[in-house]
Amino acid sequence: MNCRSEVLEVSVEGRQVDEAMLALLHTILLHRSTGKFHYKKEGTYSIGTVGTQDIDCDFIDFTFVRVSSDELDRVIRKAVAEFKDALNITGSDGMGQISLEFYQKKKSRWPFSDECIPWEVWTIKVNVVNLANEQERQICREKVGEKLGEKVINVVEVINRHEYLPKMPTQSEVDNVFDTSLKDVQPYLYKITYQITDSLGTSVSTTMRRLIKDTLAL
């Protein structure tokens, strides 16, 4: 099975990084979350209800929709804050990317650990620009708002191709497909990673380190 990979690129000002990332990540997660499953004795299940919330951005002329789950929002905000801090640390170049990967777990026999097989990866490439005055910032607010709108349309386009989605799992398999740790919604299993490009253009790759770690873990 091939993993679908999509890349979105945005150029934002420093203050806008958080909101731009939240907007895009939440838009994707809105489409990749369902209500909580409740399995019944006969092997059927019912699905809970997902609420939605409009979120206005303070630094961008944009409003996005996310699932109504404070828990999920906290997790995403934490990841975005780490990414932003990492961006700030490395020089003033301000380029990096954050990846949202949906995966399935495949149980392996002992002594091998479970495999994580990604089936969809969204990569958001960020370029942070510095602006000189309030006038430019005002224009940037609007431009970034429009750009985010285009990205949302891109996301929706990809999702509506209805390509591979994991099969709905049985009760015993549900944790291999969905993240069941949240109280109110159930997103597909996901992980968020990020990479910062330093000023020399070489990527300080956390992914590389993870690969090595995974290989050693086997």
Partner 1 sequence: MESDLSPQDKKDLDKFIKFFALKTVQVIVQARLGEKICTRSSSSPTGSDWFNLAIKDIPEVTHEAKKALAGQLPGIGRSMCVEISLKTSEGDSMELETWCLEMNEKCDKDIKVSYTVYNRLSLLLKSLLAITRVTPAYKLSRKQGHDYVILYRIYFGEVQLAGLGEGFQTVRVGIVGTPTGTITLSCAYRTNLAFMSTRSPGEEEGGAFAGVEDSQEVCTTSFSTSPPSQMVAPGKEGGVPQVPMQPCHGAQADHGHVSSCPTGDATHHIPATPPSSGEDAEALSRSSEVKSTSPSDPLDATFTRKVGAFVNKPTTQVTTAGLDLPFAAFAPRAYELEENDPMVHPPDSPATSSPLQGSLHSQASSDNGGQTQEDFVMVDFKPAFSKDDLLPMDLGTFYREFQNPPQLASLSIDVSTQSMAEDLDSLPEKLAIYEKNIDEFDAFVDTLQ
Provide the b/e sequence for 139-170 (b: ≥16 CB within 10 Å).
ebbebbbebbeebbeebeeebeeeeeebeebe
Q: How many CB atoms lie within 10 A of CB 124?
A: 22
Structure tokens at 142: 């609007």
The single residue among 21, 140, 185, 192 that binds partner 1, judged by CB under 8 A, is 185
Residue 59 or 194 having the CB closest to partner 1: 59
Cα–Cα–Cα angle for 23, 29, 30, nearest 5°? 85
**Amino acid of residue 159:** I
The single residue among 3, 7, 81, 156 that binds partner 1, judged by CB under 8 A, is 156
The single residue among 25, 121, 152, 189 that binds partner 1, judged by CB under 8 A, is 152
Region class of 162: left (phi > 0), else alpha (psi between -120 and 50), else beta: left
Q: Is 171 in the site for partner 1 (CB under 8 A)?
A: no
Return d(Cα 202, Cα 218) in angstroms, integer. 29
Stretch that binds partner 1, among 73-81, 136-144, 190-198, 199-207 (CB under 8 A): 136-144
Q: Is 99 in the site for partner 1 (CB under 8 A)?
A: no
- Least Cβ distance, residue 178 to partner 1 (angstroms): 13
Q: Which residue ranges make up the site for partner 1 (CB under 8 A)?
A: 15, 27, 30-31, 34-36, 38, 46-54, 56, 58-59, 61, 63-65, 67-69, 135, 138-139, 141-142, 149, 152-153, 155-157, 159-160, 162, 168, 183-185
